[in-house]
């Protein structure tokens, strides 16, 4: 993770926190049947995809890995808002990828001081989102706590 997080100005403790988050992203992508992206703040109000975990259980939302890609705040408004505000953001919006509707949920990753240092973005195509809503409530709750 150190080589991936270089140049971000993170403390060793923050890098360790992101490394722990990254360790579970592959499993989270498969269980949630969604692309899971870890965004970090970048230069001039932009955000960068630090890690992109793609599910193996279904075709991913994005055909190629977005790791390393930089987006403006206008392109990823929920991610930018979640990084800029020290409040709990668990919000959803619908976007389009390759012409298909995609459900996008964002979650802040905080350091020990409670400052948002990254944003976890879970992107699911709308069909899988609806299928997930029909799963057992116990499974859904467990996945949210993951």
Structural domain range at position 6: 2-145
Q: What is the pLDDT of residue 1?
A: 47
Q: What CATH number did the domain enclosing 47 receive?
A: 3.30.450.280
Residue 52: which H helix or E strand, with range? strand 47-53
pLDDT per residue rounded down to tens, the chain (146 residues)? 445 565 678 899 999 999 999 999 999 999 888 999 999 999 888 999 999 999 998 889 888 999 999 999 889 888 888 888 766 555 555 666 566 788 888 889 999 988 889 999 998 886 665 565 666 778 667 766 65
Provide the number of structural domains found in the chain. Answer: 1
DSSP H or E stretch at residue 107: strand 100-110
CA gyration radius for the chain?
15
Q: What is the C-alpha to C-alpha distance for residues 144 and 146, in angstroms, rounded to an integer?
A: 5
The DSSP code for 48 is E
């Amino acid at each position: 993770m150190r080589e991936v997080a270089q140049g971000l100005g993170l403390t060793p403790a923050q890098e360790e926190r992101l490394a722990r988050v990254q360790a579970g992203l592959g499993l989270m992508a498969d269980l949630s049947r969604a692309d899971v992206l870890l965004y970090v703040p970048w230069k001039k109000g932009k955000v960068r995809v630090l890690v992109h975990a793609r599910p193996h259980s279904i075709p991913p939302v994005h055909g190629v890995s977005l790791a390393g890609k930089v987006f403006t705040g206008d392109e990823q408004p929920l991610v930018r808002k979640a990084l800029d505000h020290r409040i709990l953001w668990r919000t959803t919006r619908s976007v389009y990828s390759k012409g298909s509707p995609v459900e996008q949920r964002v979650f802040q990753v905080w350091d020990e001081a409670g400052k948002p240092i990254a944003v976890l973005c879970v992107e699911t195509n709308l069909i899988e989102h609806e299928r997930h809503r029909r799963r057992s409530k116990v499974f859904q709750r467990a996945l949210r706590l993951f």
